[in-house]
A and B are shown apart, each in its own frame.
Chain A
Amino acid sequence: MFGWELPPFFAGGVGIVCSELLKELARRDDISVTYVMPFGPKQIKNQNFKLIIADNLKMKDKIKTKYIPSLLGAYISKDEYLEKLEGLVRDKDGNVGMLKDNTLQLYGKNLLQEVYRFSEKAKLIAKDEDFDVIHAHDWTTFPAAEEASKISGKPFIIHVHITEFDKSGGRGASPDIYAIEKQGMESSDKIIAVSEVVKKGLVKNYGINPNKIEVVYNAKVNSSDIIEGAFPKFADNSKVVLFAGRVTMQKGPEYFIEAAEKVLRFYENVIFIMAGTGDQLKDMIRKTSELGLSDNFLFHGFYTRSDANKFFKLADVFVMPSVSEPFGLVPLEAMEKGTPAIISKQSGCSEILRNTLKVDFWDTDKMANQIVALLNHKSLKKVMSEKGQTEVNSLTWDEPVRRCVDLYKKVIRDRE
């Protein structure tokens, strides 16, 4: 399996999903996994993996980890890659990639080169390892999976958590990345999409045959309950409404602010927390001050697991107004902690979640109406909280993993 950095050092949902899949796969007697992940100079190798296997001794024997030195990260953009590269120590001649311990690690000059360099390394691993099927997560690993498949003759499945289209909203999608995604989708044996909305996007934007795509929904995130440090203090009786996620166009933070302005017409004592960073954060801070909402807004910036847990505890309602959301794990986390969730109808998780309120991301009247109702009526909050918690707790990983294993068997059979 070509995956990503695992919790707690993760950059987003795909790392979480990889770790949940690994844990569940390790529980099965018929599967063992070689997990290949990129490994940058600033990462801490040993700790990293120990953490996820600490509670599962069996996993140690079943999961073998292979690291490829690389600067790749899940969701990385071209610019972010260059930033990362620039951030490394330069040598006398201005060449990048020279590490302090003088081990020469040459990384790709840009993101695409790095992706191909990664795939060359993957080929070497595939030569040495014994396996039956390849499972790769998101575009940066697709060329690696294809190379590994070519050299081994084994089938490969790609797992699509997000596409370049989703990230860019279709505008300014990088043609190179698009081409790599499309190539991976076409040459793979089977495609796993995390929701129907992703599947539709693959058919529409990438011209993929729908019969090749299976939808396997994600399940409950087993995140820690850790809470460190003090809670933020608000005036007595104030209500709290939460946005948590990257502050980028894709996540719809501006709709959250528009809804907040409307909520405040009906309900004065409300604090809106916007947790997360992103390229729209400055604009959002400006927008709230233009609307005269600064007193009611708390911008938190980057947040830790412990911060998130605090926010879920404080919040009367969690809102995910995403414009595009292939799946969306955060509502599941909120619901698991007993916080009622309002989610956009455009999100993949809205296809399976029942005990939430759903709204079109642009319909901020309705969003405000739903928020006010949750602030006004204890009964609504209580029932949604209880039913939501029960629902999420029933979404375990055995079902998605069973579906993946069925697909492994199917592609192996089909190649024979």
Chain B
Amino acid sequence: MVSVCIYFQVHQPYRIKEYSIFEIGKDIDCFEDSSDSNTNNAKILKKVSNKCYLPANEVLLELLNNHPEFKISFSFSGVFLEQLEQYEPEVLESFQKLIDTTQVEILAETYHHSLSFIYSKEEFKEQVKLHKEIVQRLFGIVPAVFRNTELIYNNEIAKEVESMGYKGILAEGADHILGWKSPNFLYRPANTSNIKLLLKNYKLSDDIAFRFSENTWKEWPLTASKYADWITKVNGNGNVVNLFMDYETFGEHQWEATGIFNFLHHLPSEILKHPDNDFKTPSEIINSYSTIGTCDVEKYISWADENRDLSAWLGNDMQHEAINKIYSLRDKILSSNNSDLIHKWRKLQTSDHYYYMSTKQFSDGEVHKYFSPYASPYDAFISFMNVLHDLELELSKDEIIEEVTTIT
């Protein structure tokens, strides 16, 4: 038996607009941009909703209704859900309809899609709690399986997440940690006793997410039936095929004209044609299968780039300066008890801000690989640091006001 376990990541950051030193101290909302630029969050959300979320949800709803045995899971970042409530309530409704079928699981993550685990475990736990609250409020579900930002993972995270009560965790099936092991089984993270590890089958996942429209690929064009054959072949060599990818694959990364929606439409029936295949959610996988060994991952891994490490967010001095600065403010910010400031500070922790400062792809001229609303990583850094400066200024104003109130 091979169980196909699909998880879609759905995330949009609160991008900060181009923020100049002249705007510091002027009480300007750095996330609010009504211009035509790509830092206009409402505009981007509308565009991606029309190209991806709405049409993909429509296809999935039909599939879930027609195939009761079809199962999927989502991980929504809290900042994404917040933006849906703010800008696109109809899209939120269309996601709620999917969840209502009871064939869909929602995973736990940090509300702010942050790198907080690396810098502050307390902050990490707080953000997971905030995420749990919004998922419960919007969908009536309490997540039981965890996945960290960008599939960032190591032994320590697994242990922490286990102690927080989760029964499973997801990670990248990176070659350099798997060695001879197959991602098509469950593993027990080193030094844990209950939690189970699901590893992404990156080959089969990336066939859809990255290679689908690549016409120089020898398997192009990829049909649902061919793909289902590859899945079926795993029978005898594994229990599970974990297909983890960005939801934006459908319609945004792979445009509609590539036939990606048609592929999705036919995928469940093609896979289910073979009696030894089925679909399961991560929780069902964990309940159905045992681990076949331990998996020891000391250094951080992620699902980003070829390197599958942290270098996309923490690869240069600018990224380190920015992130060290933001976490150094934690005690001060929290003790202000100013919920607006705290929320703003947390939105600035979203991993995308640091990704935009990456010089990895940018500096060697691979401009097409540099996904960013900014002209360069340097511009991204400058706006971010100005916003941070502004935040510190607000914080000090806040302190002064508090002092004044205490005196009177």
Q: Which residues in A have some Cβ–Cβ distance to B below 8 Å? A: 262, 266, 354-355, 357-358, 365-366, 368-370, 372-373, 376-380, 382-384, 387, 390-391
Contacts and interface: CB of A to CB of B under 8 A. Distances in A.
Nearest to A267: B21
Contacts of A380: 318, 378, 381-382
A333 B321 CA distance: 28
A331 to B, nearest CB: 14
Contacts of B382: 357, 369-370, 373, 380
Interface of B: 20-22, 316-318, 320-321, 359, 362-363, 365, 367, 375-379, 381-382, 385-386
Contacts of A266: 21
A369 B383 CA distance: 9
11 contacts: A357-B378, A357-B379, A373-B21, A373-B382, A378-B317, A378-B321, A379-B318, A379-B320, A379-B321, A380-B378, A390-B363
A146 B143 CA distance: 79
B376 A357 contact: yes
B357 to A, nearest CB: 9
Contacts of A391: 363
A316 to B, nearest CB: 14
B223 to A, nearest CB: 39
A380 B20 CA distance: 16
A373 B385 contact: yes
Contact of B363 (A355, A358, A372, A382): A355
A368 B21 contact: yes
Given A377-B318, A383-B359, A354 B21 contact: no
A360 to B, nearest CB: 12
B139 to A, nearest CB: 41
B376 A354 contact: yes
A387 B363 contact: yes
Contacts of B321: 377-379
B363 A354 contact: yes
A37 B367 CA distance: 41
A356 B49 CA distance: 34
User: Which interface residue of A376, A380, A390 has the most chain B CB atoms within 10 A?
Assistant: A380
Given A380-B378, A390-B363, A372 B318 contact: no
Nearest to B321: A379
Contacts of B381: 373, 377, 379-380
A365 B363 contact: no
Nearest to A390: B363
B193 to A, nearest CB: 42
Contacts of B367: 354
Contacts of B20: 365-366, 369
Contacts of A387: 359, 363
Nearest to A373: B382
A366 B22 CA distance: 9
A377 to B, nearest CB: 6
Contacts of B365: 354
Nearest to B24: A266
Contacts of B363: 354-355, 387, 390-391
A365 B317 contact: no
Contacts of B21: 266, 368-369, 372-373
A369 B376 contact: no
Contacts of A262: 22
A378 B317 CA distance: 9
Give the 5 A-B CB pairs with smallest separation, nearest first: A379-B317, A379-B321, A373-B382, A387-B363, A369-B20
A42 to B, nearest CB: 44
A391 B382 CA distance: 21
A274 B22 CA distance: 25
Residue among A262, A372, A383 with max Cβ neighbours from chain B (10 Å): A383
Given A365-B20, A369-B21, A383 B316 contact: yes
Nearest to A355: B363
